[in-house]
């Protein structure tokens, strides 16, 4: 797939992965990711920018924990699937901010 011609290539890959695997661990993975989110909110080693916590660190933390249960590709796909709802929660709670699309 030509990633330059399709900037949203990751969506296609994620949907193919879900269709192929049926994601049997969705409930456990979701609980685990939100548990990591709660840890991320209070960790002192998470960089802050303009008063907001670093979402890249959150993604890294989630993927690291998921790698204990899944291979790299699956852990990456699960991280991509769960980062959107977790980011929305972080924004609602004031830990992250939306960056305007230019």
- Give residues with Cβ within 8 angstroms of 4, minimum separation 6: none
Burial of 52 (0-12, 13-18, 19+ CB in 10 A): middle
User: How does DSSP classify residue 70?
Assistant: S
For the stretch 28-83, pLDDT in tens is: 999 999 999 999 999 888 888 778 888 889 999 999 999 999 999 999 999 999 99
Asked if residue 2 is part of any domain, the answer here is no
Rounded to two decimals, the pTM is: 0.84
Classify residue 102: in a domain, yes or no: no
In a domain, 25, yes or no: yes
Q: Which domain holds residue 30?
A: 9-92
Domains: count for the chain: 1
CB count, 10 Å around CB of 98? 8
């Amino acid at each position: 797939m030509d990633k330059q011609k399709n900037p949203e290539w990751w969506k296609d890959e994620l949907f193919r992965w879900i269709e192929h695997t049926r994601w049997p661990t969705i409930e456990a993975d979701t609980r685990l990711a939100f548990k990591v989110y709660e840890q991320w909110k209070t960790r002192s080693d998470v960089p802050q920018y303009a008063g907001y916590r670093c979402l890249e660190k959150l993604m890294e933390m989630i993927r690291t924990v998921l790698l204990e249960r899944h291979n790299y590709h699956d852990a990456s796909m699960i991280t991509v699937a769960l980062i959107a709802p977790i980011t929305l929660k972080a924004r609602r709670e004031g830990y992250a901010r939306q960056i305007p699309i230019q």
